[in-house]
């Protein structure tokens, strides 16, 4: 049944596996509503792609599972279900299928859907943050009592970094979108994706550390109240660095282009955080990066091809018998291939 509906994509399965870990931990932090939101998003995302791909006579790509999970986990835990539904339909139908489906979209569908709902419904989304409620190991999965408050980025600007606990934030016990709070799990996912050659490490490193460098520069220049090491585990910059900037379809291919692309995403993210009216800039950073990805690839020189090592293969030499005498000796092959 699965193989009849979906195209088999092993790389996408690895990404789904890493996102499922975040989904389980998010359910532990924020309760069963996390599962309801993501189940709805998955169902609508798959159905939307199926409608388009059926018309083309193709199967649904397993990449849509990644899109749905990335989008769902980027939302606040108390987001209204109807907003989550609108966003995923927009992400798949407009940002992906309108361009021709998997492999043809120029924008990351998950981030496009996220930005669409944040711009369209800013008031509703700013009121749906929730404080993790974890009374005990198993009880956390069934927690429903959540309280709204300000996100760490807002608290840092308003009250300073002294009002925050770094390690509590690092391990995920803070306000934020469902999948972005647990920095330690995202880092573990990054290691897994890099080791399995699922994600390009240059994209992760350039996005994250360019944002860190710019945050540090602005902070020490007195232009920003965001303390660099706190800022990097607040919001979604780590989540986006690992899962969004590494999208193989919308990111550039050349190594030099990938460095510049990551720097562009990280820099725009920080500039929006500090100087614009939005508390988070990762969505803008990724979409602007997507816009210039092809141009960056064209402008960058092609990487030098590695010279091939010469291979010396000598022809087979007949055995040292007298021709026509039928000695029965087998031909002897010389060279380094024995």
326 falls within a domain? no
318 falls within a domain? no
Angstrom distance (rounded) from CA 222 to CA 256: 32
240 falls within a domain? yes
Give the per-residue pLDDT at 303: 75
CB under 8 Å to 321, separation ≥6 — which residues?
327, 329
Domain residues for 41? 2-299
The pair of three-digit structure tokens given for residue 237, joined into one six-digit string: 């910059």
Beta bridge partners of 171: 182
User: Which residue carries 């930005």 as its tokens?
Assistant: 115
Give the per-residue pLDDT at 136: 46
Averaged over successive runs of 10 residues, the pLDDT of the chain (338 residues) comes to: 82 95 93 94 97 92 96 93 96 95 93 95 76 53 49 62 76 87 95 96 97 96 90 91 94 95 97 87 95 94 72 49 41 40
Q: Which helix (H) or strand (E) holds 6?
A: strand 6-7
* Alpha helices per DSSP H over the chain: 2-5, 10-30, 33-56, 63-73, 81-93, 109-120, 122-126, 152-159, 166-170, 183-195, 201-220, 228-231, 237-239, 255-275, 282-299
Domain count, the chain: 1
307 falls within a domain? no
312 falls within a domain? no
What pTM, to 2 d.p., does this model score? Answer: 0.83
Give the per-residue pLDDT at 267: 97
Give the per-residue pLDDT at 16: 96
Give the per-residue pLDDT at 292: 96
84 falls within a domain? yes
Give the per-residue pLDDT at 144: 43
329 falls within a domain? no
Give the per-residue pLDDT at 120: 93
304 falls within a domain? no
The pair of three-digit structure tokens given for residue 195, joined into one six-digit string: 């080791």
Beta strands at 6-7 and 60-61: parallel, antiparallel or unpaired = parallel
Given a contact cutoff of 8 angstroms between Cβ atoms, the answer to whether 91 and 71 are in contact is yes
Indicate which CATH number applies to the domain containing 218.
1.10.3430
Output the CA–CA distances (angstroms, integers) from residue 146 to 10, 43, 129, 206, 233, in the order listed.
37, 26, 9, 36, 21
Give the per-residue pLDDT at 124: 82
Angstrom distance (rounded) from CA 289 to CA 240: 12
Nearest to 24 by CA among 73, 91, 75, 81: 73
Give the per-residue pLDDT at 150: 61
């Amino acid at each position: 049944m699965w193989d009849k509906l979906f195209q088999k994509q092993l790389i996408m399965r690895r990404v789904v596996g890493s996102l499922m870990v975040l989904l389980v931990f998010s359910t532990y932090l924020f309760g069963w509503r996390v599962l309801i939101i993501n189940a709805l998003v998955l169902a609508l995302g798959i159905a939307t792609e199926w409608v388009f791909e059926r018309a083309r006579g193709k199967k649904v790509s397993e990449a849509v599972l990644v899109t749905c999970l990335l989008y769902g986990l980027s939302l606040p835990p108390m987001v209204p279900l109807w907003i989550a539904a609108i966003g995923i339909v927009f992400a798949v139908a407009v940002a992906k299928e309108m361009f021709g489906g998997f492999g043809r979209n120029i924008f990351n569908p998950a981030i496009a859907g996220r930005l669409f709902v944040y711009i369209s419904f800013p008031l509703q989304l700013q009121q749906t943050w929730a404080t993790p409620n974890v009374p005990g190991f198993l009880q956390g999965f069934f927690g429903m009592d959540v309280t709204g408050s300000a996100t760490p980025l807002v608290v840092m600007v308003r009250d300073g970094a002294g009002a925050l606990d770094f390690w509590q934030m690092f391990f995920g016990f803070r306000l934020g979108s469902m999948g972005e709070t647990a920095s330690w799990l995202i880092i573990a996912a990054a290691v897994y994706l890099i080791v399995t050659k699922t994600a390009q490490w240059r994209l992760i490193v350039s996005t994250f550390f360019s944002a860190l460098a710019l945050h540090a520069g602005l902070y020490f220049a007195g232009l920003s109240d965001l303390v660099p090491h706190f800022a990097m585990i607040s919001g979604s910059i780590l989540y986006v660095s690992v899962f969004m900037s590494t999208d193989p379809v919308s990111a550039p291919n050349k190594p030099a282009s990938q460095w510049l692309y990551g720097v562009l995403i990280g820099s725009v993210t920080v500039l929006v955080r500090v100087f614009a009216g939005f508390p988070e800039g990762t969505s803008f950073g990724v979409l602007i990066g997507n816009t210039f990805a092809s141009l960056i690839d064209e402008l960058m020189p092609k990487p030098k091809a590695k010279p091939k090592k010469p291979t010396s293969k000598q022809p087979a030499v007949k055995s040292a018998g007298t021709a026509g005498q039928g000695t029965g000796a087998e031909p002897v092959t010389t060279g380094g291939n024995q």
